[in-house]
Amino acid sequence: MINTVEASAQQRRRNLIDRIATGVIATGGVWVILIIVLLFFYLLAVVAPIFSPATIEQTAHYSIPSQERGSTAYIAVEESKQLGLRVTGSGAFIFFGLDSGEVTGTKQLDLPPGVTIESIAPADIDSRNLSAKLSDGSVMIFQISYRVTFEGERRVLIPRISYPYGEDPFAVELGGEASYRDVVIGEDSVVAVFSDSSSRQVKLSLFEVEEGDELSDADLSSSFEAPFDIDYQFVDGQARWLYLGSRSGQVALYDISDIEEPEEVANATLLSDGAKAVEMKMLLGGSSLLVGDQFGNIYQFSITRDESNQYGLAKYRQFKLESSVQRILPEERRKGFIGISDKGELSVFHTTAEQQLLSTFLVSDNSDRPDQPLYEAYSPRSDTFLMQSENGMTVYHIDNHHPEISWSALWNEVWYEGYEEAEFIWQSSSADNDFEPKFSLIPISFGTLKAAFYAMMFATPLAIFGAIFTAYFMAPAMRAWVKPSIEIMEALPTVILGFLAGLWLAPLVEDNLLAVVSVLLVLPFELILFAWIWHILPVSLTYRLSNGWQAAVLVPVIILCVWLAFAVAPTLETMLFGGDIQIWMRETLGVNYDQRNSLVVGLAMGLAVIPTIFSITEDAIFSVPKHLTQGSLALGATPWQTLTKVVILTASPGIFSAVMIGLGRAVGETMIVLMATGNTPVMDFSIFQGMRTLSANIAVELPESEVDSSHYRILFLAALVLFAVTFFFNTIAEVVRQNLRKKYGNL
């Protein structure tokens, strides 16, 4: 009776412990799933804004500030969007609150008597200096700056006009009226380009900056005659390229890097089918020209080289408005622009993304009647648009944070400026502000699959065949040492493997390339040869080695084969490849060799993946029910026939699960590919070239990216892609594994 009571109490305790364990395990599993789901939605929340559409909203409308001071020659928006600026032809600078239109201050430009301002344009890359084209044919350079003060908690901007190179304007004599006048400010010089539309004369002058920030007389100058009547003239911010255009669509491109000897590098008619160039503007960077016609088409023509290495203008892209183009306003810091039609349509485009981000009609009041702008200003941050029309001033806020991102730019080939054709390129940063963002995910996705492919090529055969021998043929005593030894390799930090691969293995492979390749290619055949020799040896000799210990004999054989390969390789390299196989590959096969390449990654990452594949495969094979193998052997099948026809087929789901989990591990690996490759995002499947993977790219660039920038969010998109790929592989593997357990659990 007592024993029965005690047994019942023990059973209740066991049941309680089982319920507690089940609850804890179930709770832990639910939390793991919940964390994975939350991680997915977090990544999705960071990525989603890059695909949000651009929006535009009218925020203010008021009459023209200080309209009595004269007609407008120029309007602008200060970077913080606190002040707007209207410049009159008489040189009056009227500053007003951008939200209210209330005048906050005025300044007067010191103009010569009787001279007025015709137009104002930026004179350098950063638009810090402006050039005013005056009615007497001269140009004045000035700078607008803002000093920040505070009145209580209110931020106040105090504008200031300064003259970096003296208050006196300067001119270049053409012997006639200069219709177009452009000034480009460099680090220590100023380049002026004056041209006359009627006489086709163009004159270039270079002015050195002397002590006291004064400009010298023209040190270098030249002049030439344009091939057509000039209607448009543009100079890039580096004073390298000069564009001359006509309304017929003809454009001549000159290399003016040598002021004394300008060179015409291209002259072509860019438009056809009766189209006329009603507007031309230069895109940020000066490598592309935007040309609009009367049919509403806006074309991007960029400087490129042809097969004979000659410069020319190629048509990259085409954008469309509903009616004739009236204005094109390029963005100051990005490769986008605003197109305005003669019917008041405003559209925002981005060239690299090759997309129209938004389209609306301009209105200056609460009606739906489109308004036609007379003057426009696009803020430096491209988030505010100011226009002046007959009805007054209107301010629009534009929400367009990630215009350079589109599905096409991420996953399709893009024809970037200066390239001969469309390509997949990842290049997220550059040294100047003219940079065209290159955010193609294809090169780094390709690099991820390439690294995983070579790692799996190395790891899969070794792991699976090793697991088969260990589980089926190896002696139990030897298996008790081998299996834990290989499994404990998985605990080795991958940063150690990456460190050894980058600092020891990569130089070793480079110095002994022929030996390493020989070992990888010849060693399997040498082992087969040794197995045949072992097979034909007398039984009296082979019988002395206990069954299942044959693998121990292979260890000295492998060491001997590797030693022979390294010993013979220098002689073979001298005899067959002229002493340097890398030079021979480059000159004969056109194959370049990088020290940190896919071969090194395959070897190092293969060592990291082998324990995973080996352990799961070995368990799957060893778990095959004994009555199946014993029944096969009892029916007369040989051990090899039993292995191939029964064991491997039965364990195949587990083997597949092992390979998929190993592949997921290889795809998500970071430290090895980060340290053992050159991290160059090239699309080259050569085993002797490196790569950049998704995970390594995130590790390298995320710490340096600006939070919430396009670059930052694309890195999170790369993480989301990596998450989806590894989740896919691991899910398939786990499903197969669970099916295996259900299928053979009751056998």
| 300 in the same domain as 234 | yes
The pTM score is 0.86
| 461 has pLDDT over 70 | yes
Helix/strand/coil percent split, the chain, to 5: 40, 25, 30
Over the stretch 326-355, which tens digit does the pLDDT of each residue have?
A: 999 999 888 999 999 988 899 999 999 999
Q: Which residues contact 593 (CB under 8 A, 6 or more apart)?
A: 510, 513, 582, 585, 586, 688
Tell me the two tokens of residue 129.
Answer: 């200096």
Q: In this structure, are 187 and 317 located in the same domain?
A: yes
CA distances from 644 to 330, 637, 649, 650 (A): 69, 11, 7, 10
Does some domain include residue 211?
A: yes
Tokens read off for 736: 């197969």
Window from 161-175, 491-505, 547-561, 688-702 with minimum mean pLDDT: 161-175
542 within a domain of the structure (yes/no): no
Q: What is the pLDDT of residue 279?
A: 93
Residues 60 and 18 in one domain: no
Quote the domain boundaries for residue 21.
2-51
Residues 607 and 679 in one domain: yes
- pLDDT band for position 137 (cuts 50, 70, 90): confident
Dist CA 72 CA 374 (whole Å): 9
Same domain, 276 and 372: yes
pLDDT for 740 equals 65
For residues 381-395, average pLDDT: 90
With respect to residue 571, please indicate whether it lies within any of the assigned structural domains.
no
- Is residue 11 located within the same domain as residue 131? no
Dump pLDDT digits (tens) for 207-218.
Answer: 888 776 777 776
**Tokens standing for 106?**
């005025």
Residue (of 551, 534, 540, 535) closest to 475 by Cα position: 551
Q: What integer pLDDT is reported at residue 747 of this predicted model?
A: 53
Q: Where is pLDDT greater, at 669 or 363?
A: 669
Task: Please choose, from the candidates 643, 465, 489, 633, the residue with its C-alpha nearest in 3D space to the C-alpha of residue 551.
Answer: 465
Asked whether the beta carbons of 616 and 603 are under 8 A apart, the reply is no
pLDDT in tens, 8-45: 888 888 888 888 888 899 898 899 889 988 999 999 99
pLDDT at 368: 62
Rounded distance between C-alpha atoms, residue 678 and residue 129, angstroms: 41
Report pLDDT digits (tens) over 582-638. 888 888 888 888 888 899 999 999 999 999 999 989 888 888 888 888 888 888 888
Closest CA to 41 of 715, 708, 723: 723
Q: Token pair of 677, please?
A: 């490759």
Choose one of 411, 435, 465: the last residue of a domain.
411
CATH number at residue 199: 2.130.10.10
Domain-embedded: residue 224 = yes
User: Which residue's structure tokens are 């550059």?
Assistant: 430
* Contact indicator for 117, 87 with CB cutoff of 8 Å: yes
- Does an H or E element contain 711, and which? helix 710-744
Same domain, 184 and 332: yes
Q: Are 54 and 397 in contact (CB under 8 A)?
A: no
| The pair of three-digit structure tokens given for residue 694, joined into one six-digit string | 């998704």
* 3-state SS class at 593: coil
Q: Are residues 34 and 172 in the same domain?
A: no
Report how many domains make up the chain. Answer: 3
Whether the predicted pLDDT of 646 surpasses 70: yes
CA dihedral 553, 555, 557, 562 (to 10 degrees): 180
Q: Are 287 and 302 in contact (CB under 8 A)?
A: yes
- Would the pLDDT of 643 be above 70? yes
Q: Same structural domain for residues 77 and 137?
A: yes
Whether 6 and 68 share a structural domain? no
Percent residues over pLDDT 90 in the chain: 26
Q: pLDDT value at position 386?
A: 93
Helix (H, G, I), strand (E, B) or coil at 555: helix
* Same structural domain, 216 and 163: yes
Query: Does residue 560 form part of some domain?
Result: no
Give me the mean pLDDT over the 352-377 stretch: 81
